[in-house]
Every structure is written in structure tokens, then in C-alpha cells.
Amino acid sequence: MAIRPYIVGNWKMNGTRAMLSEARAIDRAAQRYMKVEVAVAPPYTLIHAVHREAEQIGVGAQDCHPGNEGAHTGDICASMIADAGAKFVILGHSERRQDHGETNKLVNAKIESALDAGLRVILCCGETLETRDAGDAEDFVLRQLKVALPAFADPSERLTIAYEPIWAIGTGRTATVEDIAAMHGAIRKLLDETYGEEASSGVRILYGGSVKPENAREILSTPEVGGALVGGASLSAESFLGIVVAASESEDA
Ligand code: PEP
């Protein structure tokens, strides 16, 4: 099955309404690169406004609560972000795990809730440098996924995985293409075993961790890399679009 590369910007806790011009610029330029699926996940406060700007790009959220409603001051549930215009949600990001103690079990509950609300999900996984240096990276990531993966028959339309080695996020360091290929291959094997090869083939595995226009082409040409989850470089339309162009060119190659 031919699926388009997926380039997703994670704005994290960045952006006020002044960022809407960047969203508009990304959206208008993305219309020239239809071989690439482009999306951004702004903070909650901008989801509705970015959704109103977006003619082409997908708009998503960076987290949601696992419940449907109720007494959870400050939290936002999946149906609320869908109502604001989000079509997908990023779950299990390492910053949520580190800052808020999120476990794989909690991430799984959030995923089930998001799917029930009709959202697509980007499930993040990734190891620390200590885990990689100890030679346990693959086991660690597969354990994260075994607990967090949702139980459904055909995930192809709804699920994306993002492999993001924690030590590569926001540090300027990236994993080697050999390491990325090995980890993505191991994740694909797990998806094949969990959902069957046909259903698994529609699940894209993104790489995340200091992806920039300068390194995007090499990363995106690596086997089993179906796109990128981009933090810092997604905050300016110019650098984010450089990655979109690289994805489009790697499709042509
Ligand atoms: C991220 O946090 O999802 C990410 C990949 O960040 P950066 O691109 O800044 O490393």
C-alpha cells in the first residue's frame, strides 16, 4: 500500500495568536506538496483558530485526558479537542511522561478514549540515553508499545507511531540512520505480530528528534521511516516547509 509521508509539527507550549500567520503560510505552501500529508499540533488555545486557517493541513492536539467529562480541573478530554477542530492527538510524548509521570497504561487509556471520540492518534515512544547505552533500547521501546497499543482490528487509518529517542529531542543530536532503521524495523515487526501484516502496513512510523531541513532527506529515505514528528523546526513556516519539501523530494527519488 502506498502511503504518503506524514510530516507533523508539534508546537509544544509555544504560540499565541501571533503564530497564526505561520500556520497560514504552512497551509498555503502545503497545497503545493500534495504527495506529503502535513499537520500541526498547536497548544489547545490555538486549535480552533488554526483549524479555521487550515484549508489543507491537519490540525491536532498534544494530549488529552482519558475520561469523557467530569471534575478534572484544568484537563481537556478527547471530544473537546475534536469539537475545537482537532482531527488527531499526540499521546505518550516523552515530555508528558517526564513532566507528568504518564505511564504506558495511562497512555493506552488516553488512546482508547481518543479513538472513541473519532480522533486519529500519534503514539510516541523512545528511550533515554542511559537505556540506549545499556543496550536495552529496543526492548524498552517494544515494552512501551506492547502496553500502550490500542486493541482494534484495523489500525491503518487511525494509528501512527512516532519513535523519538529522548536524547535526540531538542538537543540537535539525531540517531544514526542505522539505529533508526533497526528500531523502526523492530516496531514494524511488533505491529505485524499485533495487527497482521496487511493492517500494519498502513500504520506509518515517524521519526522524531532534531529533524531539520538539513537532515530531513537522509532520515526520510531510511527504510520504514514514514515521516517525521518535528518540534523546534516546526515553529517557523520556513524551516518546517524545508522538511515538507525534503519529504516530497524523497517521494520523487
Ligand atoms: C518532539 O518533541 O516531538 C521533537 C521531535 O522535538 P525536536 O524536533 O525539537 O527535537
Q: Do strands 120-125 and 58-61 pair parallel, antiparallel, or not at all (unpaired)?
A: unpaired
Residues 111 and 213: their CA atoms lie apart, in Å, by 31
Selection from 124, 154, 41 nearest residue 87 by Cα: 41
Is any atom of ligand 1 closer than 6 Å to the C-beta of 232? Answer: yes
Q: Which three cell numbers stand for residue 173?
A: 543530536
Residues 183 and 125: their CA atoms lie apart, in Å, by 11
Question: Ligand 1 pocket test: which of 160, 171, 210 has the largest number of ligand atoms within 8 Å of its C-beta?
Answer: 210
Percent composition of the chain: helix, strand, coil (DSSP 3-state, to 5)? 45, 15, 35
Q: Which three cell numbers stand for residue 67?
A: 475520561
Confidence of residue 156 (pLDDT cuts 50, 70, 90): confident
Q: Percent of the chain scored above 70 by pLDDT?
A: 98
Is any atom of ligand 1 closer than 6 Å to the C-beta of 229? Answer: yes
Q: Give the type of residue at 15.
A: G
- Which residue's alpha carbon is nearest to atom 6 within ligand 1? 231
Residues 41 and 231: their CA atoms lie apart, in Å, by 10
Confidence of residue 171 (pLDDT cuts 50, 70, 90): confident
Question: Ligand 1 pocket test: which of 6, 10, 214 has the largest number of ligand atoms within 8 Å of its C-beta?
Answer: 10
**13-29 mean pLDDT:** 97
- pLDDT of the residue at 200: 93
Is any atom of ligand 1 closer than 6 Å to the C-beta of 102? Answer: no
Residue 158 · residue 117 · CB < 8 Å: no
Question: Which tens digits make up the pLDDT trace of 54-102?
Answer: 999 999 999 999 999 999 999 999 999 999 999 999 999 999 999 999 9
Quickly count: other Cβ atoms within 10 Å of residue 14's Cβ. 14
Place of cell 512510523: 205
Residues 125 and 104: their CA atoms lie apart, in Å, by 10
Residue 17 · residue 232 · CB < 8 Å: no
- pLDDT of the residue at 144: 98
Question: Which tens digits make up the pLDDT trace of 112-132?
Answer: 999 999 999 999 999 999 999
- pLDDT of the residue at 174: 82
Tell me the three state secondary structure of residue 161: strand
Is any atom of ligand 1 closer than 6 Å to the C-beta of 209? Answer: yes
Q: Known catalytic residue: 164?
A: yes
**Average pLDDT, rounded, for the chain:** 95
Q: Which three cell numbers stand for residue 177?
A: 540512520
43 pLDDT higher than 60:
yes
- Which residue's alpha carbon is nearest to atom 2 within ligand 1? 231
Q: For residue 92, how far is its CA from the centre of ligand 1 (angstroms)?
A: 13
Q: For residue 93, how far is its CA from the centre of ligand 1 (angstroms)?
A: 10
Confidence of residue 155 (pLDDT cuts 50, 70, 90): confident
Confidence of residue 1 (pLDDT cuts 50, 70, 90): very low
2 pLDDT higher than 70:
no
**34-45 mean pLDDT:** 97
Please provide residue 153's backbone torsions phi and psi, each rounded to the nearest 5 degrees: -75, -45
Q: What is the 3-state secondary structure (H, E, C) of 98-160?
A: HHHCCCHHHHHHHHHHHHHCCCEEEEEECCCHHHHHCCCHHHHHHHHHHHHCCCCCCCCCCEE
Q: For residue 5, how far is its CA from the centre of ligand 1 (angstroms)?
A: 17
Q: DSSP string spanning 188-204?
A: HHHHHHHH-HHHHTT-E
Query: Which range, of 39-48, 83-92, 143-152, averages the lowest pLDDT?
Result: 143-152
Counting beta carbons within 10 angstroms of the beta carbon of residue 11, is it exposed (0 to 12), middle (13 to 18) or buried (19 or more)? buried
- Which residue's alpha carbon is nearest to atom 7 within ligand 1? 231
Q: Which ligand 1 atom sits nearest the alpha carbon of residue 228?
A: 5
- pLDDT of the residue at 153: 67
Q: For residue 222, how far is its CA from the centre of ligand 1 (angstroms)?
A: 18
**166-170 mean pLDDT:** 91
Is any atom of ligand 1 closer than 6 Å to the C-beta of 10? Answer: yes
